[in-house]
Structure 1
Amino acid sequence: MSSTRTTAVVTGVLFLITEIAAIAGLALYQPVLNDANYITGAGADSRVLMGGLSELILIAAVIGTGVALYPVVKRQNHSLALGYVCARLLEAAIIAVGTISVLSVVTLRQDLAGAASTDDSTLVTVGKSLLAIHEWTFLLGPNFVLGANSLLLACLMYRSRLVPRGIAVLGLVGGPLIVTSATAVMFGLYDQLSAWGSIAALPVFAWEVSLAVYLILKGFKPSGVTAPGTR
């Protein structure tokens, strides 16, 4: 049980890190995301690079949650547990692609902006293309795939009673909701960073934070740990 308690604390801390790193990365990226001509301007490269570092921490924490939880949740349902790990790995991979695209803008700005042989309009077009990749990865990873893995983990937690079912319900509601919202964003009904997008993301945010806090303070419920396949 002491090993399981440690797993719960580590998992909770990793979930909190994902929230902090995701918010920090998005905030630090703002100069490049909000300036179409960033690639040819003065730039705020140090800030953007710090955003990239935050994203790398996010990637590690996302993978860490899947790896840390797997030995516990596989006792409840091996297929769902494996699906959750794969979904976390996919989410991390998509985030990594977005991170590379943003950091590539910084590299191009440093190496090519202002050079005599460089056409600024072409450089701006390339920069916009890289940021478009980031925009899509931001929609696919932290929305579509996040919704799927939230639903998988919430199902495991609800059926096994490893945590209070009230917490698991947040994930059961939040997962499908954020996927629905991402679909609406994909078809142009509203922007991802909008009031509607933020409202749709709240249940998943509440699910991950409440799960993290509960695991850190209480750990897994003993009845769920000792009763494989609990419904």
Structure 2
Amino acid sequence: MDLSAERRGTLPWGTLDRDTIVAAALELARTDGLDGVSIRKVADAVGSSRMALYRHVHDKQELLDLVADEISRLSADLPVDEDAPWEVRLRAIATSMRVHLKENPAFAEFIVVHSANGPGGVRMAELITRAVVATGLPPDRVAHHCLVFSDIVLGRIHRELAGDPTAAARNARLLEAAQHVPEATAVRRHDSELRQVHADAVFEAEVDMVIAAISAESARARTA
């Protein structure tokens, strides 16, 4: 539905639906952050009354939950199928989560704290779990690695958006200070390399470490 056309007037009776409401809320969040998402502002954006919105969502919390779940649904639309190797699937999941959360940074912390509990969030959890199940590990270790994977991936994305400790701009002053500290020989020796590390490389390295840990444990279990 064309939201720009809707903004020019009031929606005809019966044409408002949840998809339109969620799309408008997502657009507001991208431009104005979570503070820009309210029942009133979304109603204005779609050209409806607040009472009309309340027929589809109970309150702002439900509205935010619906948007978070839509982001998870989009993230779960992967370019690989379930016949692909589990490592390929986990990398695709991690990359997709990062792409969609960086497109919707206002919801990164929201999803880290509150999760996404609708069909989209459940679908994402199912994809992660099925990928780890394919390693052949026992149920308790599958659960362990699913949560570690989610923690590493969501935590890394959140740090990139909220304050990345590996960012070159953050570490520039530290590296400059190291030039004047005699005992900081190792830091000075690697100064140029430290300045060149970028977020993509860190993200990929952390995903690789999780996959390597799962692979190692799976290999040990097969030979035990």
TM-score of the alignment, normalized to the shorter chain, above 0.5: no
> Greater relative contact order (Cα 8 A, min sep 6): structure 1 or 2?
1
Which has the larger share of helix? 1
- Please, what TM-score do these two structures have when normalized by structure 2? 0.29
The structure whose Rg is larger is: 2
TM-score relative to the length of structure 1: 0.28
